[in-house]
Amino acid sequence: MERRAYRVAEIALGHREDALDAVQDAMLRLVRSYAGKPAGEWAPLFWGILRRRITDLQRRRKVRSVVIGWLHGREDADGEEAPAWEPPDLAPDPGRRLLDQQAYAAMAAAVRRLPRRQQQAFMLRMLEGLDVAAAARAMGCSEGSVKTHLSRALEALRTQLEEWR
């Protein structure tokens, strides 16, 4: 779960160190606050904690960029780093490997362009594999909202990634 959580955080935050911090903090908060809960409830609780931590980091980043803009009279350029993990190299062919890296970069960029709730629904349902009820608990919304956000996310990703079909 740790690696998947890291990937989710990295896609949402676009920064490796922030993603590592968010996952570590979410795990520590889960252990501190919910150690007495049944193990079956840990996954939705963890994803809810991670979702809130990612949102906090995104808000801080936004405020920091506004403050820096005020202080320096300019806004920071979009200095997002490339994602740190790459798809597994299943083929020795360098051309295929390059294509895989480009496809992943395009997918990560497309997911980052989604609205926050659509990102969350997509990552929890498609990347983490949570069912609708668990994703709803993790996101703090109804099951219908999860389905709506996921449907809209998939449609937006299909549109953005049409050239990769």
Q: Model pTM?
A: 0.51
The larger pLDDT score, comparing residue 32 to residue 95, is at 32
3-state helix, strand, coil in the chain (%, to 5): 75, 0, 25
Report CA 144 to chain centroid distance, whole Å. Answer: 21
Domain range for 30:
1-81
Query: pLDDT digit string (tens) for 131-153?
Result: 899 999 989 999 999 999 999 99
CA distance 142 to 40: 20
Q: Are 106 and 85 in contact (CB under 8 A)?
A: no
| Domain match, 42 and 105 both | no
Q: How many domains does the chain have?
A: 2
| Domain match, 1 and 73 both | yes
Q: What is the dihedral of CA 77, 7, 162, 93, to 10 degrees?
A: 100
| Domain match, 121 and 66 both | no
Query: pLDDT digit string (tens) for 10-29?
Result: 888 888 888 888 999 999 99
CATH number at residue 94: 1.10.10.10
